[in-house]
């Protein structure tokens, strides 16, 4: 097979490029395009030999696109409802076969429960065996080359599907239930969901993604954050099998004092002064995940890194806009099957 010539749009920090490498599909990224100058610094740091254009897609002429002579496009465009509508309308008009997905990294054993929308499309006359136009698949389809015998036996079994909602780009966190409120601002339903996630042995523990030798004191939550967000924090331990989000786009926080009972701390906060509450909450030694640890959860390879001049806040922001490398790599393999 002749290597594919890949154009990477909205290239960000290079998640798609890393996924392409992981997929082992013979390919070369002929150009990457993104208008975010900070993200471009990271991309260039990791892929110094890939041509990188710091401009909008609208700023590139058709002649420039034609000169790249690409046979595949990878892209992670801004997450807006009209993005999907226009994209599907375009690929249908151009005669592409396509399939939509809502996938979580937990399906690959990764303790990151963020559900993301994906679409694969190919210019071919015959549809895929798993194709369901107008519907979204919630699981990866079985690939014949991976499980040839099992694939034949399961061919008639439909993968669980769900009709597409107007806006699939928003995080799919469950709505707050009306059950009994426990020691934090969580319902019994939410507590049960987290317990089920932590009991799923098919998913790795968070400790497998943590950096060695991290000084917790450098990443502890400041007192103001402890006090302001104490009832909203999603607190996890290294033995947990989930990583989510709680407020203002920040993910779960790690309890490094594993011998301290969270329930005891929170139930003792009633009628305490603010200073006393901070003292109690500090006993949990809650810290943020480091940028490297979040990159690990997103499937970036060990050699991935950030330029030294970037701030930690910039790293967090860029990672928050990225995607899971392992999930995309598997979709690329399905696309090229």
- Residue 162 near residue 134, CB atoms below 8 Å: no
* Three-state secondary structure call for residue 93: helix
79 part of the active site: yes
What the block records as the tokens of 192 is 């049960």
- Residue 120 near residue 331, CB atoms below 8 Å: yes
- Residue 14 near residue 47, CB atoms below 8 Å: yes
Q: How far is CA 328 from CA 101, 108, 210, 233, 296, in A?
A: 11, 11, 22, 29, 15
Strands 116-122 and 97-103: antiparallel
Annotated catalytic residue within 79, 94, 175, 315: 79
- Within 8 A by CB and 6+ apart from 244, the residues are 113, 114, 173, 234, 251, 252
Q: Give the integer Cα–Cα distance in Å for 3 and 11.
A: 20
Q: How far is CA 306 from CA 47, 208, 302, 319, in A?
A: 12, 21, 12, 11
CA angle 13–17–18, rounded 5-degree value: 90
| Sequence-distant contacts of 28-33: CB under 8 A, at least 24 apart | 28/3, 28/4, 30/5, 30/6, 30/68, 30/69, 30/70, 31/7, 31/68, 31/70, 32/8, 33/7, 33/8, 33/9, 33/57, 33/60
Q: Hunting for tokens 């990878």 — which residue is that?
A: 74
Instruction: Kindly report the backbone phi and psi dihedral angles of residue 97, in degrees, each rounded to the nearest multiple of 5, phi listed first.
Output: -85, 140
Buried b / exposed e over 303-329, threshold 16 CB at 10 Å, is ebebeeebeeebbbebbebbbbbbbbb
Catalytically active residues, by annotation: 79
């Amino acid at each position: 097979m002749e290597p594919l010539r890949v154009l990477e749009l909205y290239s960000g920090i290079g998640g798609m490029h890393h996924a392409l490498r992981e997929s082992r599909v013979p390919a070369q990224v002929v150009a990457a395009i993104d208008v975010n100058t900070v993200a471009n610094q990271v991309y260039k740091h990791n892929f110094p030999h890939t041509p990188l254009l710091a401009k909008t897609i609208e700023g590139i002429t058709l002649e420039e696109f034609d000169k790249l002579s690409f046979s595949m496009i990878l892209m992670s465009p801004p997450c807006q409802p009209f993005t999907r509508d226009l994209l599907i309308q375009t690929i249908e008009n151009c005669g592409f076969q396509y399939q939509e997905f809502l996938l979580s990294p937990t399906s690959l054993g990764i303790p990151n429960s963020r559900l993301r929308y994906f679409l694969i499309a190919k210019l071919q006359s015959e549809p895929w065996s798993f194709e369901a136009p107008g519907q979204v698949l919630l699981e990866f389809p079985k690939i014949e080359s991976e499980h040839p015998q099992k694939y034949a036996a399961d061919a008639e079994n439909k993968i669980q599907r769900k009709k597409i909602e107007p806006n699939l780009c928003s995080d799919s966190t469950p709505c707050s239930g009306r059950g009994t409120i426990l020691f934090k601002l969580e319902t019994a339903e939410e507590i049960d969901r987290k317990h089920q996630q932590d009991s799923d042995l098919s998913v790795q523990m968070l400790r497998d993604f943590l950096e060695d030798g991290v000084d917790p004191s450098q990443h502890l939550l400041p007192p103001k954050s402890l006090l302001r967000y104490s009832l909203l924090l999603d607190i996890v331990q290294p033995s947990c099998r989930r990583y989510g989000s709680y407020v203002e786009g920040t993910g779960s926080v790690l309890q490094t004092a594993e011998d301290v009972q969270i329930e005891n701390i929170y139930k003792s906060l009633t009628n305490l002064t603010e200073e006393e509450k901070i003292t109690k909450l500090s006993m949990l030694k809650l810290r943020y995940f480091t940028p490297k640890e979040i990159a690990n959860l997103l499937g970036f390879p060990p050699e991935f890194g950030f330029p030294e001049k970037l701030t930690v806040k910039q790293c967090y922001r860029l990672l928050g806009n990225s995607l899971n490398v392992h999930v995309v790599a598997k979709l690329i393999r399905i696309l090229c099957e």
